[in-house]
Amino acid sequence: MLGGYKSDYDELLASGKDDHGNAFAFGFGYNHTGGFGTAGATGMLDNYAVTLLTFDGEHKLAQGRLRLQADYAQSAENLFQVLYLMGSHVTTSSVSLRYEQPDVQDPLMARMSYTNFKLTSMSTTPDETHTFEGEVQKQNHLGNRHTLVYGLSWSHTVLHSDISYPGEHYQDVFGAYFQDEWKLPQRWIGYLGFRIDDATLLGTSFSPRISILKNLGNRQTLRFAYGTSYQSPPFVNSYIDTVFPLAPGLTASALGNPKLKSITLDGFELDWRQELSKGYVQINSYYNSISNIIGPIPTAFQPSPPYPPGTPATLSYVNLSDATSYGLEVDSALKLARNLDAHFNYAYNYEHLQNVAIAGAFAPNHMLNMAFDADLGRRWEAFLGAHLVGTTSVNSNGVITSAPAYINMDIRLGYRLREGKEPLTLALVVHNLFADHHIELPPPPTNGLPAQVTPLRTVVYITLSGKF
């Protein structure tokens, strides 16, 4: 308990194996936050409980291994993000079965999985999604220069929702892909591939991809890549049919659009990497052209007066804008001393939306991360990290809001109670060391409704980790 802030986090992981090629891992976690003591029971995203269960089992076969994974998570919280859901419960469960051949020159991989997501609130089910997936992949070598990877995939998604158009909504996606890794003369390596997807709602899409890697000598590499990718519209954007609050006593309708187009991205990348005797330096750059960005636009308005002109009565989802983005990233890891490691990362990103009057954006231009990891001797170890984010702007239907730049610092001080094959470490961890109460996502313009975000607080906890 720190200043009215109550929380607890517990995690347990147990694993084992036998002499017959069987291994397992079982995990349990519980995370509860009772609120920061200022907003009470209606606290915004700071009043929740999460239960986690995981299982991972593996069995070795003559030429491969079979792996079964399952997990379950349930959370309870107050969710105020466009929809205002008091006492919401989110349940996610999944199971997957995978066969792979990691020790075979031309391996075969096959997998299938099922995932269930369910959101309930106040006797309603805003979202329940069932997803079935399957994939088969094969790799083959052709001589010494070509390595082929090819496969087939399939997914089936079903949506049940009390806030969507009546009926059951589903989509099937069938995919096929191919890639050739081609070792060229003079230290050149080429990757040429493509993917074809056929979706019941969207039709057929073709995604080519090419990458060229050059070994420059002196432990330097240069890479150029071009590719196209697609993102299907979320089901909620296609089929939503509900009302949401704009202000006390005033609501608007949100309507989906089953005829939305896929979001498409054409991207270029250019990377350079230098290996050092005690680390590396890497520079990555990119340029993306994005089409068919999805968002809501007003299609009907409240009467004026009494409401201000332009107050929406209905918002409909459309493909409203195209965009471009470009940037670079500098990443480096160095060993400064025998017992001191450092990691540095800086990223610059710029985004431009063509339809800035109604489209929104959330992308800070500058981000910086620095980390130092030290072995202090006599079983003591320490970590210090700094995270800086530049000013962020959001354009929501022409209303500009912003979040100021901020810097976070984290520390960890640990003591190894036991070393060797079964180590045991006790550590004190502090997130947001100097209690910078910044807001990660800017709130919407004041409308008399509860805020959608809560400022970040300082979190202090003790961990005990190791093998038993």
Predicted confidence at residue 221, as pLDDT, reads 96
Predicted confidence at residue 438, as pLDDT, reads 72
**SS3 state of residue 42:** helix
Give the length of the chain: 468
3-state SS track over 216-272: EECCEEEEEEEEEEEECCCHHHHHEEEEEEEECCEEEEEECCCCCCCEEEEEEEEEE
Residue 68 confidence (pLDDT) above 70: yes
Q: Residue 238 — φ and ψ, nearest 5°?
A: -85, -30
Mean pLDDT value across residues 114-139: 91
CB atoms near residue 393 (< 10 Å): 15
Residue 42 confidence (pLDDT) above 50: no
Q: Residue 29 — φ and ψ, nearest 5°?
A: -145, 150
Mean pLDDT taken over the chain: 85
Residue 1 confidence (pLDDT) above 50: no
CB contact set of 391 (below 8 Å; sequence gap of 6+): 364, 365, 402, 403, 404, 405
Predicted confidence at residue 57, as pLDDT, reads 96
- Percent of the chain residues topping a pLDDT of 90: 49
Give 286-290 contacts, CB < 8 A, sequence gap 24+: 286/325, 286/326, 286/327, 286/328, 287/324, 287/325, 287/326, 288/324, 288/325, 288/326, 289/265, 289/322, 289/323, 289/324, 290/263, 290/264, 290/265, 290/322, 290/323, 290/324, 290/325
Q: Please say whether the beta carbons of 43 and 454 come within 8 A.
A: yes
Predicted confidence at residue 306, as pLDDT, reads 86
**SS3 state of residue 41:** helix
**SS3 state of residue 109:** strand
Half-sphere exposure of 281 (CA within 13 A, CB side): 4
pLDDT band (50, 70, 90) for residue 359? very low
Q: What's the predicted TM-score (pTM) here?
A: 0.80
